[in-house]
Amino acid sequence: MIIESDHFDEYNAARLRRDPTYDGVFFVGVFTTGIYCRPVCPARLPMTKNVQFFETAPAAEAVGLRPCLRCRPETAPFSPAWEGSKSTVNRALKLIKDGALDEGSVEELSDRLGVGSRQLARLFQKHFGASPSQAAQTYRVQRAKRLLNDSNMSMTEIAFAAGFGSLRRFNAVFFALYGRSPTSMRRK
């Protein structure tokens, strides 16, 4: 939606100051270039007579403008891309918690997220300090520990319910982490 003229002077002043408090509140359409920007765009400021203000990026695109490659309006605040690569890691963590790596591979997970497996590993290291596989293993152990404490399931049932591929792997991971067997950790 195009912003009405009663806000034009306010928004134009914010654009001229490159005021970060208006970032995400409106978008600047420049019809001489065919581009729309964020009010904080570092590009040369267009003349006031050549701009129009839009409430949303889709509204600017609906009149034929394309996003600026310098300020990347799709990353404006309140946009899901605002969090950048952290949002990809958060989406991956949710999928991992839901068991995406219990049956699938890191490559399948990265395909679901639209990134390469090496890029996903780099993002995890940057934002989480561990690999996707390490995160999955931690969540499996946490699920298993809850089941150990809160259920009467057998060790084999717990291992598979927690997402481990075998009882042997469950025991090895548990021992490596806690220095004790899962059976010794079970509450009486």
Residue with tokens 């958060």: 90
Low-confidence ranges of the chain (pLDDT < 70): 1-5, 75-85, 187-188
| Residue where one domain finishes, among candidates 42, 64, 80 | 80
Domain identity same for 94 and 69: no
Q: What is the pLDDT of residue 172?
A: 92
Strand partners, 29: 36, 52
Domain identity same for 111 and 163: yes
Q: What is the pLDDT of residue 51?
A: 93
User: Can you give the residue range of the structural domain that contains 47?
Assistant: 5-80
| Residue where one domain finishes, among candidates 80, 110, 131 | 80
| Residue where one domain finishes, among candidates 34, 60, 80 | 80
Give the total number of structural domains in the chain: 2
- H or E element at residue 57: helix 57-62
Domain identity same for 26 and 92: no
Domain identity same for 66 and 95: no
Average pLDDT over the chain, rounded to an integer:
85
Q: What is the pLDDT of residue 167?
A: 93
What is d(CA 9, CA 14) in angstroms, rounded to the nearest whole number?
Answer: 9
Residue 12 has, within 13 A of its CA and on its CB side, a CA count of: 14
* CATH number of the domain encompassing residue 162: 1.10.10.60
Domain identity same for 66 and 130: no
Q: What is the pLDDT of residue 177?
A: 82
Domain identity same for 46 and 139: no
